[in-house]
Structure 1
Amino acid sequence: MSRFHLSPQWIIAIVSATAVAAAVAIPLALPDRPDAIVTGVPDHPVRPDILDQVRISSPHGLDGIVAMLDGERLPLHPDGDALRPEAGLLDEGVHVLAVSPPPGMFGDSEPTRIVLRVDATPPELDVEPPEPVKPGSAGEIRGSAPGAALVSAAGEWTRPAPDGSFVLPVRAGTNTVTVVAHDEAGNATSEEVPIALRHPGMRAVHLSASAWASPELREPVLELVREGRIDTVQLDIKDESGQIGYASQVPLAQEIGANTGLYDARETLDLLHEEGVRVVGRLVAFRDPVLGRASWEEGYYDRVVQTTDGRAWSGGYGDYSFTNFADPDVRAYNIALAEEAAELGFDDILYDYIRRPDGDLSAMVFPGLVSTPEEAIASFLAESRTVVRRHGAFQGASVFGIAATRPEQIAQDIPAMAEHVDYVAPMVYPSHWGPGEYGVEDPESQPYDITVRSLADFRDLARENGHTEVIPWLQAFSLTVEYGPDEIRAQIEAAEDLGIDSFLLWNAACRYDPRALPRT
């Protein structure tokens, strides 16, 4: 492959030179006879407007020159010291231009015929989805452009191989490039290609806003950081109670009294970043009793999931617990919080409860829903990602373990969601699986087996539509089986055996045993 760095202006010049300026003067005479000169005709396929560039002249004057196109006489008009044909666009295909020079003393010369191969069809262009790149790293674009003379993107260009394949470099920090395939005639086909960033990975633990505000819970986590046992802290932005951990400036958050002010966001982020760790902001989306109750009491009923008889749906989660993911106000509120957090400096926005309530779908009403719940959830993530990425943050989505095999039960279609997030975070807690799931007799007592089998499913689904990462939530709490360092490490090892070296540990009490986390 030949590769050079070129500015867009130079690319235009190259194509112009290939298609036009490479034209040569063609003498139309035998020795000792008058001649005519035609310029503007290259020796390769040309565009339909080629005659606009043709000029005909003669050292013996212009009188008597005759031009014929496909047997029809072309009107010629003076243009300086040459003649310009009067013609419109030529049809695609082969045309013959015949030019007769002025008559000489020995009679008329034989006209010289020039074959014009008119090509109005742009070249094909097929660009492979680029491999995600780590922040600050260069990447490359691969594809195929049969019939193209060169392919360009972001100031770089190359000539395709004989089979049409090409490779172009992409400079670090590039978010989107326009790839253009140019053929010899000057036709072009372009495609805008987004350059995805690869998530750097994480070894993280969950902290609620109140836990961060408590030195008793905060300091042990900071010690895990200083000992090199974790490299990321997950800190709640808005939790399942609908409360926001810091003093949000989003107007609706202030109106409904969602702010708690448990921590100062900028001060906290500065402290954690100074410790050398990334900060993931957990944003519970649609389980929001604060927004739900305030909306219902103010008459904004469409913001709340309802029963078929028009009451606010509870389903065991409490009154007004689930807001309506199809409602524009609800969507805008959560995206505004995500944007604010990304702008403040959270490295990731990790949505939770990004789903419909579990239960009988026929018993629920989602005002304004015009698609399936699964499609509405995916479209919300697409809308949010544009905003989050604008501020340099990654976006993730926490999903139920059953979403891999029963997506319709909670409206979490993993391939559809994966298109709009940098990673999915499945909650594959062993205690949450029933006996026999994935062929595991007692999942809670077999943490390695259930984790490795369920994560393999999620890994495959997340890659169906791209290169989305899987970063699992792992169990660091006890239910019917005591979970100590061995059980936690078994889950981490299961993920690693699948090539997944990232994880988030969940313990609602926000207490973590350092023995479960080896130093890196």
Structure 2
Amino acid sequence: MLTRIHRRKKRGNRLVGLLVAGGALVAACLVAVFFWQPQFSFSLPDLNFKGKQAAGEELPQLLALRDPAVLMPPEEKAEFVQLGRKQDWRPLKKEAVKVKGLYMSGAAFNSKKLFDYLVGLVDTTELNALVIDMKDDNGYLSADFDIKLARDLEIRRHRGLNAAENMQLLFSKNIFPIARIVVFKDPSLAEKKPELALRKSDGSIWRDRKKLAWVDPHNREVWEYTVDVAREAAKMGFREIQFDYVRFPSDGDMSDVVYPYADGNKKEDVILEFLRYAKKELEPYNVFVSADVFGLTTMTLDDMGIGQKFEKIMTAVDYICPMVYPSHYGVGNYSFANPNAHPYEVVKNALLDGLKKKGDAPVIIRPWLQDFNLGSPRYGPAEVRAQIKATYDAGLDEWILWNAGNRYTEGALLPE
């Protein structure tokens, strides 16, 4: 009897001891969490973008990833400027990806519904990249960038989602992020700082056919502001900076446009020097640099009056992205009365022309393809897929789809 009582006491003492130890462990964890939490920073995964995720690797659900408690491995960190929060920053590894991507507007980047939809589309198909507006055609910014000029001029920005959390989600799914930065078509900067704007002969601000003002491509302050936006995008974690509207204007009353800062250089040389400057300034950030050009640049011999000469631009960037939209070719181009009705032939011929100009140069040609309707016929899965096939048949393996409203033809995409 005494022996049984003694055994019960020993078991009771052990239970009490375990409870005390467990309580101490919980308390220690709570203290650790309390002191660790203020040091929380987003961190990025190992950037091996050969696939969306390693075989057999389980990724959290889309919405769950919006919870900051879902952390990625701490191998590499990036600085995020959203909400004024900054962490220690260092460049990420520079690793190339064979891009199959979509365009995402700044508004979509800041809309939970659209952002999650487009991320889901990339995550469930052959796609692996998103080209996201960081400075759009209106000059609006897509995040709270630490740029004095933008603050002083109160440049408008799209608001909504937390940019840092968006980037974390892209990295968690191994989606390659490319920042689209519109360069010389910048109505916001031109209107708020008119001394940088193109002028009419009477001294007033010149505007294009859509009544939008442009800044002078010759002006170094414009170059610096553009590169400041690119730097901030790189610090957010974008792996490539893509410059769009890196050209002189092409429509409106071109006979009455005055370039206040013209220095006698050819337009094509002004564009070339800007791209060289931007690429050099971005070298410390380990990002790729690309430039969007008119599709016609692959077949024309001159700069078309806008400063875009394929052979020159390709020497200053890692990727050159001709917009070979069939609807943008005219009657007789590639011997077609209606090039828009021949998406395969137009895209293939345009890219073959580009490859001839490229020669042995290390630049990579990555075309923008048409996923929108302009003229006849209307584009569906067959027309979009024909352009993708033409890209492959021309010997290229990268492409991006464009739809300004982010409404893509899902039926044209192969499942993952």
Counterpart for residue 400 of structure 1: 294
Q: Is the 8 A contact 1:225 1:275 kept in 2?
A: no
Aligned residue among 338, 357, 363 for 1:468? 363
Residue 478 of structure 1 pairs with residue 373 of structure 2:
yes
TM-score (norm 2): 0.73
Q: Is the 8 A contact 2:339 2:346 kept in 1?
A: yes
Q: Is the 8 A contact 1:247 1:264 kept in 2?
A: no
Counterpart for residue 386 of structure 1: 280
Counterpart for residue 243 of structure 2: 351
Q: How does 1:337-376 map to 2 (within 5 A)?
A: 337-359=229-251, 363-370=256-263, 371-376=265-270
Residue 515 of structure 1 pairs with residue 411 of structure 2:
yes
Higher Cα Rg, which structure: 1
Q: Can you list the C-alpha shifts for 1:453-490, whole angstroms capped at 9, x where unaligned?
A: 111122222346x2111111101111222111110000
Paired letter, 2:294:
F
Aligned residue among 221, 232, 240 for 2:118? 221
CA RMSD of aligned residues (A): 1.9
Paired letter, 2:176:
R
Cα separation, 2, equivalents of 1:517 and 1:279 = 19
Aligned residues: 319
Q: How does 1:177-326 map to 2 (within 5 A)?
A: 199-258=96-155, 259-296=157-194, 301=195, 303-319=196-212, 321-326=213-218
Deviation at 1:381, TM superposition (A): 0.4
Residue 436 of structure 1 pairs with residue 329 of structure 2:
no
Cα separation, 2, equivalents of 1:418 and 1:230 = 25
Cα separation, 1, equivalents of 2:147 and 2:170 = 24
Q: Is the 8 A contact 2:369 2:400 kept in 1?
A: yes
Paired letter, 1:260:
H
Q: Can you list the C-alpha shifts for 1:203-242, whole angstroms capped at 9, x where unaligned?
A: 0001112113333322332222222421001111000011
Counterpart for residue 36 of structure 2: none
Deviation at 1:361, TM superposition (A): 5.5
Q: How does 1:12-51 map to 2 (within 5 A)?
A: none
Query: What percentage of aligned pairs have identical amino acids?
Result: 31
Alpha-carbon spacing, 1:492–1:483, altered in 2? closer, same or farther (3 Å): same
Q: Can you list the C-alpha shifts for 1:374-398, whole angstroms capped at 9, x where unaligned?
A: 1011100001001222101100001
Q: Can you list the C-alpha shifts for 1:232-274, whole angstroms capped at 9, x where unaligned?
A: 0111100001100111111111122223334433221111011
Alpha-carbon spacing, 1:312–1:499, altered in 2? closer, same or farther (3 Å): same
More strand by share: 1
Alpha-carbon spacing, 1:456–1:363, altered in 2? closer, same or farther (3 Å): farther
TM-score (norm 1): 0.59
Residue 414 of structure 1 pairs with residue 310 of structure 2:
yes
Q: Is the 8 A contact 2:97 2:176 kept in 1?
A: no
Deviation at 1:511, TM superposition (A): 1.6
More helix by share: 2
Q: Is the 8 A contact 1:246 1:262 kept in 2?
A: no
Deviation at 1:307, TM superposition (A): 2.3
Gaps in structure 2 of 5+ consecutive residues: 1-46, 49-93
Cα separation, 1, equivalents of 2:359 and 2:201 = 37
Cα separation, 2, equivalents of 1:250 and 1:261 = 17
Q: Is the 8 A contact 1:477 1:507 kept in 2?
A: yes
Cα separation, 2, equivalents of 1:214 and 1:288 = 23
SS at match of 2:134: strand
